[in-house]
Structure 1
């Protein structure tokens, strides 16, 4: 309305949300976007055809509500994960962020607290705030690690209702030891949540938190199809846990929260898991290449088990970010002093980034 001055501050917003900022990853359109840890590889043509055909069949029935229990998808996800899991152990939602939101709606909320270990995935604290859960910042060890002793000490210090881990950690790529998860579980009567969005990029054969689920009904492990499956735009996240956890999620989910089209696309993609995961090997190769060249250029990349590299030794991160952007490459300035983060892209994208950074380095 013209002539009326009105802003967010004038609305009767919840007091605990005042002053907060929304998730703010830049969405600049540039030739090489390596800032939000997407899988930049295109979906193979034959896989894309099967997904389109599956979605087309689902479109013929969109006049009806979708399968509220998304049973074929849960079966497919359980089969993909293995470890003796069945559909009863699986829950899915519109991206792992919605999985986290539902988890906090069920087990967090006003009067309850969530312990996290920054620097970590920024949406953890944002979703905690959105659900009225109190976010507590724990400390990490040197090198962004979390030892079992540190985790237990922080749990005893804060007595949280929920403990959040991210492994491999975003934005650092740091591995998370299984001993840390197990020790944290034994130290609390609450929920222990492990965000494994980047699990497929771990070293081949490396055990994940899924191996700890047996006998630990309060342990929850989340995954996503956004990264390894190049499915970021489809918004499919999921968790594995004791069946009672899925029952808790049913209490807070919106009715028919996963559309028929989403379910159809995800099931079709999972039928091509081997082909989709072949991209992961190439991404890991480009990630390791980035590590080598950054070291040669005098930067300090952190060890990573993810599809991105956090690197230090950047005198002016803001300036380097802007100069890369001018060259058509966007990375991520996370506000960590002296650091930037870059996603591993295709070979061509990685070459463009490394050449641009080399030019900037030599001209400094």
Structure 2
């Protein structure tokens, strides 16, 4: 498994100490005002030996919130809270990207006392995680002017991330949240310039990418994508054409990496021709991050086979802050348990 521990050059700006990344893991433990805490700083610092940490998903503005106590990057207090996190990670020799997030239709007025906004007025069925008494509502479809404002807000959040000391940003375009809602036919029923064709459905995602590239440089920008619909939305075979177009466009933008968004990469999708990771590898020419319940051995095998370049590890890193050391020594990993979500260790 030595390949996991080899340095990896993302681009002229960033070289990672190894090929293991910490996946974004929503912990819902921000303080008042959605400000990161000292406890969060210590949590991330203990895992700074991985090649790159991707922060828990971080909201770009108040109506982006869909879970309790998720941190933000839109106030000065939040920026200063993140500064203590990035300083702690850097002091331990690590690198960290901020994952920028808007949940779209998966928000609830409870969090921001405002409207729930999405590409189209299509509600998600069910209730808010960790707050089961709240059921999802029918969102209001965004106007073109509001979409343009969202693009500006993503760009500002990226600037705030750099002020906070992050090494770059990962745009959360996966897992059925706002950007992903534009990319799938089940949640995008628009007939204007943001819907009804692969080019139009990709327009918002590419506008966000371009706005952030212009502000902080493409070498510090990444995006997470879920070409296979598997959570929070329904699959449609036409989705394949959207991602074919989107990935061709991303190939022209020299991003730091594309990160697959999936909980288990053993899943296959007929309209993608198999695994989502293999589909991305076939269509995206840059650095690719695989994820989805990989053991160290399976990850090393996949990287050796050139299925992806880096692997993101999630729950095992919650359970094992010393994950890399244990893998190097061949020690047994502590199994993840949901009870671990109640504390930051």
Under a length normalisation based on structure 1, what TM-score does the superposition of the two structures give?
0.30
Structure with greater contact order relative to length (CA < 8 Å, sep ≥ 6): 1
- Structure with the higher fraction of residues in helix conformation: 1
Under a length normalisation based on structure 2, what TM-score does the superposition of the two structures give?
0.32
